[in-house]
Structure 1
């Protein structure tokens, strides 16, 4: 509640809002056509079948734009309300991770550790306020994995219905949610192998889950209403179609998204995840592999908790391997795979528990050197986590530009920085605070000037009225802003005199120049 107004408007937010209005118009025309035609708010909204991004799920945004239409307010007011709604859903996702950790690690305290690692992840925390696709999907996917684990533990009609609802919600935000029915059927089959006495219960639960899921998916996604099978196939087949000509700055050069190397997603995951979490994930992964090796795969899978961990590993590795193998289109880092991150923190929680138990054995004569090593590593990791928390506070509200271990100069030379454009809000606030003129000209380059327009709307009306958004080649004592998105290098002196820079971890994410 205290931080929600600190974040600007992300690049995708207007598009997501428009997508929801397009679906809202379609629903209104289907349910109350005469009333819908009399609504001036819907007059300029394009038709669903002619809209370029009609195949995007709108379940999260649809009720918000409906409320916005019923209770109009200043654009910034509704933007902040959407930010708050997104973060509250993230809180629900963090609760799901807490419950999953409690079930996997055997204690509510360890479950709280898993949820804590999720919240103390700088990029995820910041994007929870404004990333209506990837972090919303992360939260809904985590909730659906919780309902799946509960269904696998005790298959009942009520749990099957709840899991169908959670699965449909995830699919109706991003079509990638179709992974959930695949995981459900695959791991239900595994349970039937190792728990054949529950065969009738599983068959009954799945027999209810599948048709209810199909109905709920269609109900929550207006794009599917005319022809569910055809349009769902079209949505699944359209991944990346809107980014064919896009380029990203990766390893010091611009690369077409269709030509990105296989390591794009793993590298981004590594350099933006806090180092202590990567170390703990590796320890947890080693612990699982060691347990499976000692017991043997067959005997290891007979344990209920082993099958639960296998589900978590499939949650992490399946999408990552699939994206690499299918050469799926990615951009803006690894945000399209954020939904696998709860699996990372759950395995990291296991790694921390293994270290803790090794340290607790320090009093026994059998393994004091190993216990002392575990204790030293625990201290180092605790200091690393404290530094992550400190950086989240010190770099607020720019946690979305966090890099875990790379120096700022390397980041500037090799990777994208503020690809959301949110720092433009703080840039505009700085300009207005340091220039008392009643009209202040401000510009950005043509490819990023949309971030200027949308973040101007986030300012109070009086401040907004003082801004004059002008073309980048305009002269006359104004200001030029850059987020370095498609111009990562230094600017020539002709741009103006540099007067302000916002840095995160030593890397510049926004520059302000005073024009001559």
Structure 2
């Protein structure tokens, strides 16, 4: 069953990966990989690099605007383009989407192993992996979110290798965990919290297993320098000046100063001044209700055991594992709240804590099962049908929405109708719907030359990115114009402009709605 589940998941990726558009940052992320590839080539084979056809047009590392983003994932994707001989942008981005989804599948399998180990049940492990996949926003973004979903997969791997190290501290496991830590950090610098988690829980484990203290101490001494070495090796930007460059990258990430706004609870607010409840609210409104309810039950059961007899709770392996999962979930969230770090585009920067949320939900399943067994026979008979119906509805509703909303599962809101959600929260901030709007225009208009415009701030995401996935012949027919007044068609994804457009923009001839939430409109401009 496990093999069938993950085999089917990989097949779904093959069948669906061409259905998703190019998101806002994908061109920038690919360029970051190309710049780093040039930098590496100049250090390893300079003469060969200079013979490349496009060598002179590729910016140098000093001109890279994305220096704070590691390229552990982006650099191999660029090399894969070359090895596969893919040149057209349409095929390049489809290939990238497929590889990204396969990375998510691998991450889901690691999560299965992690949950199976913690709960000593492959059934609960598979249930947890299925819940991760059947989280609509995560499923959609697994195809194109190279930062947050890839980071989620590598961070989950690092937590798994940490548990291996805590179970038996050997130099091989310290080496493996150092490599996993470096992979996570070299995708997102937020991974630097992994050494803190590692040292803290190595100390905790040594406190309750005195016979292994020497092994834990040696593992820590080996892990730290190896992690630093691997981080530098996997991030070319750090090669020349590791300490200062990493400090600059992390500071830029944690103290992002770009002035922008986001729609939150019906108000346009600065991303530099988000309220403390921003992350908890976004988590709850985008996570299936059943998962959140079970996570609440799991947290309650965990806190009950922890507060009732803290030392007894921590003296068990399960208790220390649960403490790690709570630290995984709450540590980053509290750090964001206390440090007032910048977030935007929902809560995607903290997606990597979602597996911890699901592990607590599985803890809730255990607690609910125990409570069911303690209930009287009459109570079980009374509740069997309604409880079963609620469980079935809670499990099937996310799957139903994933099928119905395809390929816009990224617009999923758990309990908010679309007509309410679009008034309170950002819509298609990835800009994926622009591709479908562009394709519709080309199907309806046979003109050899078509001009399309949009808002200035969303020009890149809505139009330029959308053209990348068109067949070459269709791509040549479209001209992206800087001003809507010069365009035959005006297209919008309503980012930074949630209100309706005035009649001067023309007549609306096409729109895309997801669960009643309008995410794209095409207007025919007045002649």
Please report the RMSD computed on the Cα atoms of aligned residues, expressed in angstroms. 1.7
Separation of aligned partners in 2, 1:283 and 1:62: 42
Separation of aligned partners in 2, 1:184 and 1:374: 43
Separation of aligned partners in 1, 2:381 and 2:352: 35
Q: What's 2:251 paired with?
A: 237
CA positional deviation for 1:245: 1.4
The answer to whether the Cα contact below 8 Å between 1:312 and 1:343 also exists between their aligned partners in 2 is yes
Indicate yes or no: 2:19 matched with 1:6. yes
Return the match for 2:482 from 471, 475, 491: 471
Q: What's 2:401 paired with?
A: 391
Separation of aligned partners in 2, 1:247 and 1:141: 29
Q: What's 2:466 paired with?
A: 455
Q: Runs in 1 of length 4+ with deviation above 4 angstroms?
A: 240-243, 370-375
Q: What's 1:112 paired with?
A: 126
Indicate yes or no: 2:344 matched with 1:334. no
Indicate yes or no: 2:442 matched with 1:411. no
Q: How do 1:200-219 and structure 2 match up within 5 A?
A: 200-219=214-233
The answer to whether the Cα contact below 8 Å between 1:359 and 1:372 also exists between their aligned partners in 2 is no
CA positional deviation for 1:351: 1.1
More deviation, 317-326/502-511: 502-511
The answer to whether the Cα contact below 8 Å between 2:232 and 2:242 also exists between their aligned partners in 1 is yes
The answer to whether the Cα contact below 8 Å between 2:256 and 2:341 also exists between their aligned partners in 1 is no
Q: Residues 320 and 371 from structure 1, CA distance in 2 versus in 1: closer, same or farther, beyond 3 angstroms? A: farther
Provide the aligned length of Structure 1 versus Structure 2: 511
Q: Residues 242 and 195 from structure 1, CA distance in 2 versus in 1: closer, same or farther, beyond 3 angstroms? A: closer
Separation of aligned partners in 2, 1:26 and 1:246: 32
The answer to whether the Cα contact below 8 Å between 2:453 and 2:486 also exists between their aligned partners in 1 is no
Classify the secondary structure of the residue corresponding to 1:126: helix
Q: Residues 34 and 105 from structure 1, CA distance in 2 versus in 1: closer, same or farther, beyond 3 angstroms? A: same
The answer to whether the Cα contact below 8 Å between 1:403 and 1:505 also exists between their aligned partners in 2 is no
Q: TM-score with structure 2 length normalisation?
A: 0.93
Classify the secondary structure of the residue corresponding to 2:513: strand
Return the match for 1:161 from 175, 195, 210: 175
Return the match for 1:123 from 115, 137, 141: 137
Q: Which runs of 5+ in 2 are unaligned?
A: 1-13
Return the match for 1:314 from 324, 327, 337: 327
Return the match for 2:99 from 58, 81, 85: 85
Q: What's the CA shift string for 1:47-95, capped at 9, x where partnerless?
A: 2123222121111010111232453421111111111111111011101
The answer to whether the Cα contact below 8 Å between 2:484 and 2:490 also exists between their aligned partners in 1 is no
CA positional deviation for 1:360: 4.3
Q: Residues 375 and 103 from structure 1, CA distance in 2 versus in 1: closer, same or farther, beyond 3 angstroms? A: farther
Q: Which runs of 5+ in 1 are unaligned?
A: none
Q: What's 1:382 paired with?
A: 392
The answer to whether the Cα contact below 8 Å between 1:355 and 1:378 also exists between their aligned partners in 2 is no
Return the match for 1:62 from 75, 80, 96: 75
Q: How do 1:275-314 and structure 2 match up within 5 A?
A: 275-294=289-308, 296-314=309-327
The answer to whether the Cα contact below 8 Å between 1:86 and 1:136 also exists between their aligned partners in 2 is yes
Q: TM-score with structure 1 length normalisation?
A: 0.95
Q: Residues 373 and 311 from structure 1, CA distance in 2 versus in 1: closer, same or farther, beyond 3 angstroms? A: farther
